[in-house]
Structure 1
Amino acid sequence: MKKKNRIATVFLLIFLSVVSIIVLFPFYALTIAAFKPTADLMRYGVDLRLELSSLSLDNFRTLFSSRSGDLYFHWYKNSIIVTFFYTFFSLLFSSLVGYGFGVYNFKGKNILFVLVLVVMMTPTEILILPLYKMMINMGLINTFTGVIAPFAISPIAIFFFRQFASGLPKELMDAGRIDGCSEYGLYFRIMMPLMLPAFGAMAILQGMRSWNDLLWPLIVLRTEENFTLPIGLSALISPYEDNLDILISGSIMTVVPMIILFLFFQRYFVAGLTAGGVKG
């Protein structure tokens, strides 16, 4: 039996290694392309060929010295601002709602939770037109608030926090009430520290969602100065000019914040997903 388990583990490791290599191939190709001359990119496109003699830092020099590079770092700052506040408010409000569904019993709880599930299953594209009209009426077009506010409370995050909170020990809440702690005090001082794995997992997922979001910011933001990175990078290619050097080298640098975010929260990530997935 132990031999069979050992063989199964070996095959699983081989399979996961092959999958990891396949997944990393696009990033490898993009990294190599970032160091290739623009002429080679125009001639051959992004490929897997590695010619050490043709590699240089010219694309990154252009990124740090040109006007397009100045715009790129302005978009970078915009994306960081939007991602930070979106993730912060999403974790705060979604955790409060999910916590309420998970630990309290109140009239209409099941109906409200079903509505959350319905919103979670509704494609974002269906909501774009009414949300756009709402942003116009509220005067939030071409503002970061208009990008963040409509999705600051995420139904997926609510569902996740509800699953996690439903497995928390209720005895701690009773003990806190006996000591005179308010309901908000129970959450922020006792229950929230227990939910750190859930916060870590959702911080990564929500941060990645905001950082990579293109459609909604493209609709709300109008001026070049307010663009986020996905919009700005897509605007670099036009029929009248090519900025492949900025586009490729800039695309590589967009990965850095997400790597930092994952490294910062990785110890909570697996624990949060596992616990949130089995509690009900």
Structure 2
Amino acid sequence: MKGNTNKTLIWSLTFGFAVVAFIALFPLLNLILASFRPSTELMRNGISLVFDPSTITLDNFIYIFTEARSYWQWYGNSLIISAVIIVTSLFFSSMVGYALAVYEFKGRNVFFVLVLFILMVPFEILMLPLFQLMIDLQLINTYTAVVLPAVVAPIAVFFFRQYALGLPRELMDAARIDGSTEYGIFFKIMLPLMGPSLAAMAILQGLGSWNNFLWPLVVLRSNDMFTLPIGLATLLTPYGNNYDILLSGSVMTIVPIIILFIFFQRYFVAGLTLGGVKG
């Protein structure tokens, strides 16, 4: 009787999760199907699962791969910017978070409170002084202006600090006895132990930088320097809305995020489980 009850519970949970997964994936399914439909069909019937299958065409994707040169320029810009943000943010934020977790120094708690304060402030409030700073540094319309505010992300610093609190201090003491420097301890011993947290934050930072629209829109001016979200937004104009190209281009933007998640997904859950050292 108990076995039947457990089996019923498992099937009920499976069905419930399947329904939730379908609801979550429904907009994505709509987007993918709509990307294979011509603009006239989209304007006539909208984005819907009910449409004439005979209208399905590959013309939208053929156009993107053969004629939409600006699209691939935007795509490359987003890839470069996201890659730089991921690498620099993981490198510097992990160092800051590690230092806040394992070292005792004057003002450490004050510095951590400032990190939390910045974390709670909406970016829209910080955007104006950041924009003025970029003007003073003469970095407007450069990739540096897009990357610089994300080099040390408050959320990443907090994340790495919490994870580093669970790292075994005995390894640090043993390495110091062996004559290792503090940099050697971090890069050779502690950083490999922080691998799951690095993978989890790589996904989160990559997703955030890839989808970032507002800040690049503020600091970039040239069409050939636009990132993908800005470039796709330019397809919507008062003189005509290229919904077919917009939707097919949006589908292509999902590919890098899926690849990033596939590479790091096995570390993602472990990285989100902060700290914890087995005895």
Question: So what's the TM-score if we normalise by structure 2?
Answer: 0.95
CA drift at 1:6? 5.0
**Letter of the 1:173 counterpart:** M
Q: Structure 2 vs 1, CA of residues 146 and 50 (structure 1 numbering), >3 Å: closer, same or farther?
A: same
Amino acid at match of 1:149: L
Deviates more, 1:9-18 or 1:105-114: 9-18
Percentage of matched positions with identical amino acids? 54
What is the letter of the counterpart of residue 13 of structure 2? L
Distance 1:2 1:174, change over 3 A: farther
Structure 1 residue 11, shift from structure 2 partner: 3.3
* SS, match of residue 64 in structure 2: helix
Whole-angstrom CA distance in 2 between matches of 1:172 and 1:3:
49
List per-residue Cα deviations over 1:62-89 (Å, max 9, x = no partner): 21233xx110000000000000001111
CA contact (8 A) 1:76 1:229 kept: yes
> 1:120–1:155: 8 Å Cα contact kept in structure 2?
yes
Corresponding residue of 2:161: 162
Closer, same or farther: CA 118–8 of 1 in aligned 2, 3 Å: farther
Please give the secondary structure, in 1, of the residue aligned with 2:273. helix
Partner residue in 2 for 1:52: 53
| C-alpha distance in structure 2 between counterparts of 1:21 and 1:251, whole Å | 20
Question: Structure 1: how far apart are the matches of 2:243 and 2:18?
Answer: 32
Decide whether aligned partners of structure 1 residues 2 and 130 sit closer, same or farther in structure 2, where only a CA change above 3 A counts.
Answer: farther
Secondary structure class of the residue paired with 1:28: helix
Cα-Cα RMSD: 1.6
TM-score between the two structures when normalised by the length of structure 1: 0.94
Is the Cα contact below 8 Å between 2:45 and 2:51 reproduced in 1?
A: no
Summarize the Cα distance change of 1:4–1:163 in structure 2 as closer, same or farther, 3 Å threshold. farther
Residue number in structure 1 paired with 2:85? 86
Is 1:33–2:65 an aligned residue pair?
Answer: no
**1:253 alignment partner AA:** M
Q: Identify unmatched segments of 5+ residues in structure 2.
A: none
1:95 aligned residue? 94
**1:97-176 to 2 correspondences below 5 Å:** 97-176=96-175
CA drift at 1:56:
1.2
1:62 alignment counterpart: 63
Q: Does 1:73 align with 2:53?
A: no
Contact 2:102 2:165 survives alignment (8 Å) = yes
Give the conservation status (yes or no) of the 8 Å contact 1:63–1:245.
no
> What residue in structure 2 maps to residue 193 of structure 1?
192
Counterpart Cα distance in 1 of 2:211 and 2:3: 44
Deviations 1:141-171 (A, max 9, x none): 0011000101211111111101111001111
Q: Structure 2 vs 1, CA of residues 2 and 178 (structure 1 numbering), >3 Å: closer, same or farther? A: farther
